[in-house]
Amino acid sequence: MQANDARTLAGAAPMAPAEAAAGNSADARPSSSDPSSAPTEHVTLGALHFKEANEQVRQALDRTDDVVLEDVRAQRYLGCALPAGKRLEIHGTPGNDLACFMDGGTVEVLGNAQDQVGNTMNDGEVIVHGRCGDAAGYAMRGGRVFIRDGCGWRAGIHMKAYDARQPVVVVGKDAGSFLGEYMAGGVFVVLGETGDYLARGMHGGVIYLRRPPRAGALSDEVVLSRVDDADLAVLGPLLAEYDRLFASELGYRVSEEAPGFLRVAPASSRPYASLYVR
Amino acid sequence: MIDFALPRYQVRRDAEECVGCGICVRECANGVHVARPGEKVPKADHRKCVNCLRCVLTCPTRALTITRWPQVDGGSAVWTLEYMQDIATQAASGGVLLSSMGNPLPYPVYWDHLLLNASQVTNPSIDPLREPMETRVFLGGRPVALEIDERARALRSPLPPQVKLDVPIMFSAMSFGSVSLNTQRALAMAACELGTLFNVGEGGLHRDLERYADHAVVQVASGRFGVDPRYLNAGAMVEIKIGQGAKPGIGGHLPGEKITAEVSRTRMIPEGADAISPAPHHDIYSIEDLRQLVYSLKEATRYEKPVAVKIAAVHNAAAIASGMARAGAEVIVVDGFRGGTGAAPKRIRDNVGVPVELALASIDQRLRDEGIRSTVSVVASGSIRTSADVVRAIALGADAVSCGSAPLIALGCHQCGDCSRGRCNWGIATQRPELVERLDPEEGAERVVNLVRAWTHEIQEMMGGMGINAVDSLRGNRLMLRGIGLTDRELEILGVKHAGE
């Protein structure tokens, strides 16, 4: 079953090093044409249109691997297609489609994010020290998204996995309805409450819940059970990472609670196999 | 319980001509022809025949003919045999009827009611054999006004990205999974040779096709199969698929048995699981949301590729197209209800959508009325059968057309409409290796190139007859069309006069 693959592979996925937010003031590294040894750059977005803002961010990323964005005011597409080795630190509120098509980079938001964080993300890591809007992780097929607080509706829709790729989303507080709709792979963890129509059309991957789903939220397409050892091998490290990122801000830890979590997994990888007739 | 299902076809074998070679037994993946021990002549299981003509055309003595099953219905024009058979199938299974290819019902084909003009005496015809005849078109957005630095002989205003087509005929979106890799290979090679584009559909770009990627349209649909930055930047153009003419309002659904290891790798999805790409993009609920997706693709490709948006021809296509143009789409693709598909629910295929001719004419008119037609390109598809249909579509307002069924027919498709079963005897709509290898991509490409070259020459002759020497001058030139046998309302929507006027 798909869920088994998700559990084993996600557990083996390497952890991307998330740097502490404090380490990003311009340091004294010598400047050179090699972006990896260039000092961190700061770009202030203010009221810039997203097209101009993204162009400035791309130019800064061509010069250095580490870019800090100040006074961000809902500019869309920040971190779009960001490749491995590049890091954005965002102060303010990034707009929709943060880290869309991201391809290995790291984005850390000191604040809230809006809709579609990690849309069609291929690889990399997004850390949000706040909440995010709707459709987080849409069609994500790799990488990890850690949201400290809650998220809007339709998170994890169309998440998928293949080969060694296993996308992961961890949401620290409540999630809206339609979570995991048409989910075909990957791991989604919710630490707060979930809404109605949970995992509709889910045919792959696994959802871990700290709180039981709302009455009537699940359909026959999925199976609810307690986590077992194989689940804990996946869930444990994700919760530990959540604690490492956010426990000092929140004043509590969650990783000790892993054995009490519930698992939602699809009953079949072919939910509509008998829908059609010729 | 008696099985109510009747065979659709009868296989007739001329016992005198049949030499018992057994080719039909080997060629039919549906298992129609059964060799019998001790008998020279195979027996046919008529129920399994889909009328794909593979056995008929491979029989060395032409001993085989397929006819309709001779059973008559009760003579009712209402309760036809087909409707009764559909009811029997659904009563036995509880399933949604699945079908393939485009709407086959006898709705009006407006192409056949549009006659072309030719010059006589004044504005004389042009002979394409002797005189230059431009078939090249460019697709992409265009600024409302161009600023030119005359001294430097250079453009001062930035021009949005354009793709060049040497012929105004592209190949429609067909994904790896719905069609075989050899089918895509043939179309890709033909597109390169012809200087036009093929379209990978929503199935990702197979690594073997990356060498043809500069002639590929890469599609983004709701399931985002195979979509990553490398894919988006590999193609010549990015197309957002909102809808498809054969099944407006219905998404893609590739059954798990067709998700082989190769398909899984190319779509970047799990092997063996259903690939579900529902009609709604769940991030698009408005024109503003579409704009967000359009610009996310522009950002991901650094504004270097035109972004197309494809919709099915539906009732409000003109208003939707206006919104698409305002959402930043640079190419508007409209696909009529006779457009083909690998699989569509039969009731959707046969009842939903409108003919592309009407939708195209009203889209072109609406964009003109709003003064934005010149800022976008329009592509029409869905039952372009001949070069004359290409000319009609361009005269109704298209910059170019896309053809799917015609190139497939060039490759061996005989429109049996059984694509969804995955047992295509011609190696087109199948992933079974022994069937796929029946289609030689090089031979296939040559046939498709032949077809498009022949059409192009015919287009040049028809344009020459009109006294027009460039496709650009034909676009939206509805004076070159006259309706025949159409009502005033139909003529008004098509924007053409009646023949004789």
Residues of B in contact with A119 (CB under 8 A): 283, 296
Provide the b/e sequence for B455-471 (b: ≥16 CB within 10 Å).
bbebbbbbbbbbbbbeb
Is A88:A69 a contact under the CB 8 Å cutoff?
yes
Model pTM?
0.93
Query: Which among A158, A166, A269 is the top mutation candidate for probing chain B, defined by the most B β-carbons within 10 Å of its own β-carbon?
Result: A158
Picking from A50, A138, A184, the nearest residue to B270 by CB comes out as: A184
Work out the percent of chain A whose per-residue pLDDT is above 90: 79
Is B190:B452 a contact under the CB 8 Å cutoff?
yes
Terminal CA-to-CA distance of chain B, rounded, Å? 62
**Cβ-proximal residues to B307 (8 Å cutoff; 6+ apart), any chain:** B237, B238, B239, B240, B294, B297, B298, B328, B329, B330, B331
DSSP state of B256: G
pLDDT value, residue B101? 92
Q: Do B270 and A5 touch (CB under 8 A)?
A: yes
pLDDT tens, residue by residue, A207-219: 999 999 999 999 9
Provide the b/e sequence for B88-124 (b: ≥16 CB within 10 Å).
ebeeeeeeebbbbbbbeeeeeebbebbeebeeeeeee
**Model confidence at A106: pLDDT above 80:** yes
Is B179:B202 a contact under the CB 8 Å cutoff?
no
**Cβ-proximal residues to B56 (8 Å cutoff; 6+ apart), any chain:** B62, B64, B65, B66
Q: Which range has the worst mean pLDDT, A49-63, A148-162, B249-263, B453-467?
A: B249-263
Query: Which of B65, B447, B254 lies closest to A269, judged by CA?
Result: B254
Please give the Cα distance from B33 to B89 (Å, whole number): 24
**Model confidence at A4: pLDDT above 50:** no
Q: Do B274 and A269 touch (CB under 8 A)?
A: yes
Query: Which of A191, A209, A165 lies closest to A6, judged by CA?
Result: A165
Residue A133: band (very low, low, confident or very high) from pLDDT cuts 50, 70, 90: very high
pLDDT value, residue B279? 79
pLDDT tens, residue by residue, A76-91: 999 999 999 999 999 9
Terminal CA-to-CA distance of chain A, rounded, Å? 28
Query: Which of A267, A136, A184 lies closest to B267, judged by CA?
Result: A184
Distances (CA, A) of B360 to B219, B333, B336, B456: 21, 9, 9, 21
pLDDT tens, residue by residue, B68-111: 999 999 999 999 999 999 999 999 999 999 999 999 999 999 99
A-B C-beta contacts closer than 8 Å: 135
Please give the Cα distance from A100 to A121 (Å, whole number): 6
**Cβ-proximal residues to A51 (8 Å cutoff; 6+ apart), any chain:** B295, B299
Is A114:A93 a contact under the CB 8 Å cutoff?
yes
pLDDT tens, residue by residue, A160-209: 998 888 999 999 999 999 999 999 999 999 999 999 999 999 999 999 99
**Cβ-proximal residues to B25 (8 Å cutoff; 6+ apart), any chain:** B33, B34, B35, B42
Is residue B279 within 8 angstroms of chain A, CB to CB? no
Instruction: List domains and CATH numbers for chain B.
Output: 9-95 (3.30.70.20), 137-250+301-498 (3.20.20.70)
Q: Which residue has tokens 């985002």?
A: B224
pLDDT value, residue A139? 95
Q: Do A81 and B229 touch (CB under 8 A)?
A: yes
Amino acid making up residue B453: R
pLDDT tens, residue by residue, B362-395: 999 999 999 999 999 999 999 999 999 999 999 9
